[in-house]
Amino acid sequence: MHRTVPSFGRRHFLASAAVGVIAAGLPLTSANAATVPPPSSPSSETLTPAASTPAPASATTILQSSSAGTVTPDQSGDTSVRPFHFRASDQDLADLKRRIKATRWPDRETVNDDTQGVQLATTRKLADYWANHHDWRRAEAHLFSYPHFVTNIDGLDIHFIHVKSKHPNALPVIITHGWPGSIIEQLKVIGPLTDPTAFGGTAADAFDVVIPSLPGYGFSGKPTGVGWDVPRISRAWATLMNRLGYTRYVAQGGDWGNAISEVMALQQPPGLLAIHTNMSATLPEPIRKALPAGPPPPNLSPDEQHAWEQLTDFYVHGLGYAIEMNQRPQSLYGLADSPVGLAAWILDHDIQSYQLIAKVFDGEQAGLTRDDILDNITLYWLTNTAISSARLYWENRNGKGGFFDPRGLPLPTGVSAFRNEIYQAPESWARTAYPHLVYYKAHPVGTHFAAWEQPQLLTEDMRETFRSVRAA
């Protein structure tokens, strides 16, 4: 099974029968970005939530899991920022356990490796832990120990976590997840970013952290019409930061979060100072032309050869999920009906993340825990967002450029390159791709979910990247 777990690869659509290039509907240059129409969202009124701690249940929006994520869009132009809370019903949690235990299992794969997909033994171990040991109430309590809010932007309710630092002059950052990630993916970086003195940093490193749920994901509203593509989400994020009162801020992301952060940089909304990515877009033209099967360009350095091998494996073996969600997301009914089916689909994102997750369910310590993995999958299940999240691929199906194509960003950019990402971007490629590269670091560890698996390394890289713009 050669695929990539949480998110970037899927955005590549087949540009031809031979080369799977998911053109994520992204502008390739800042000139292109200038042609993006202005947002049709409500006026960017500056509003700040009344409290930076979770409001009591009586004062919050409480959605049972059967309706979460399906908030009726407010078309009235309301720009208020409202506290949000969620508690899954006991009935939905019992139904989840029942469905897991009632899984109709397929035969075992006919090979002794993962080349046919997510292996039966791994999936059975996951299901056993999910049904008999995983505690969503624990996850729910931890998740809502942070302040949650919702606000209507462009007719859709957008959910987000907003944690303010106790330190003065904290730099606001908006952090965006991807597929099959969620806000749960970023929880481990909230403390180090907002309270750096407790995590090896200084008060000068402090951030205010905003973590939104993508439209159709988690607790955000599910679009009922077309048009919520990457450029539109990018404009909505700028509206959100303005609405929270931030006139200077930075952006960070991986997977879809990288695409959105890069397009924000191309759109250059007032106040956006810089971005950081942990899944960069750096492919040189000779590499793009040689994919998927080569031969590779001559005279590649060792790190470039490593990236080439990762890319060819992904393009040849790892695009199946992305192609289906790009072309036929509504056909994936099984993901909404079978928890185990949903889990297997999510695990089969990229081969290197899958192999790490398989080790976790074999009992190894590997950055993530079984609870980490199942907290995220359970959020997808309880909010019934398997199909609505997949539509983001469909929305971006007609893009003009590949997901990993350089876009010539006009803002300062930092790059973290983790060893077992879909591909580990070499520094030589990053310096060519980003005209204003202010920070680059290659790490010998790490997969696709950097904030989740390597929060300390990602936090340190973000601090270094954004120091250059704090006093600007």
User: Is 372 in the active site?
Assistant: no
- Catalytic position from the list 162, 350, 448, 461: 448
Phi, psi angles (nearest 5°) of residue 413: -135, 140
> C-alpha angle with apex 177: 357 to 45, nearest 5 degrees?
160
Distance CA 468, CA 452 (A): 25
The single residue listed with the structure tokens 């204003």 is 436
> C-alpha angle with apex 305: 304 to 307, nearest 5 degrees?
65
Distance CA 368, CA 28 (A): 34
User: Is 255 in the active site?
Assistant: yes
> In the numeric block, which tokens belong to residue 291?
């994919």
Quick check: bond before 168 cis, omega within 30?
Answer: no
CB count, 10 Å around CB of 216?
23
Distance CA 194, CA 171 (A): 9
CA distances from 31 to 34, 303, 360, 407 (A): 5, 31, 45, 10
- Catalytic position from the list 255, 348, 371, 372: 255
- Catalytic position from the list 217, 249, 321, 393: 393
Phi, psi angles (nearest 5°) of residue 8: -80, -45
User: What b/e sequence results for 426-455 when a residue is b if at least 16 CB atoms lie within 10 Å of its CB, and e otherwise?
Assistant: bbbbbeebbeebbbbebbeebbbbbbbbbb
The helix, strand and coil proportions of the chain, stated in percent and rounded to the nearest 5, come to: 40, 15, 45
Distance CA 156, CA 77 (A): 10
Strands 207-212 and 272-277: unpaired
User: Is 85 in the active site?
Assistant: no
Active-site residue set: 255, 393, 448
